[in-house]
């Protein structure tokens, strides 16, 4: 399948704003991802990024859990079968 990329234009969360200030988001948006999990987010979930394809499924989600927060990234962060991210400088950020 055609690789997908991350699209952070959907929100202005403090985390993505900080990554944008550091110059990470532009680089991360260029990383090809070949596989991801499909998820159905709960209504209270903030979608920080989506995949670049027609249906624009969620890629990075944030939700309050008890007194903390849970962040879900819907692709693997350490498998070259899923993405080229481990070889990119943004992986360290």
CA atoms within 13 A on the CB side of 52: 15
Does the structure show a pLDDT above 70 at 10?
no
Under 8 Å between Cβ of 91 and 79: no
Four-point Cα dihedral 3, 37, 45, 70, nearest 10: -110
What does the pLDDT look like over 33-92, one tens digit per residue? 989 999 999 999 999 999 988 788 999 999 999 999 999 999 987 777 888 888 888 887
- pLDDT in the model for residue 1: 67
- pLDDT in the model for residue 43: 92
Mean pLDDT of 1-8: 84
């Amino acid at each position: 399948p055609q690789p997908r990329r991350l699209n952070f234009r959907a929100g202005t969360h403090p985390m993505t704003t900080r990554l944008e200030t550091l110059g990470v988001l532009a680089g991360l948006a260029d990383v090809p991802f070949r596989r991801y999990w499909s998820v159905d987010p709960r209504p209270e979930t903030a979608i920080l990024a989506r995949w670049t394809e027609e249906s624009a499924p969620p890629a990075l989600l944030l939700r309050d859990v008890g007194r903390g927060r849970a962040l879900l990234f819907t692709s693997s962060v350490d498998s070259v079968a899923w993405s080229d991210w481990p070889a990119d400088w943004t992986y360290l950020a």
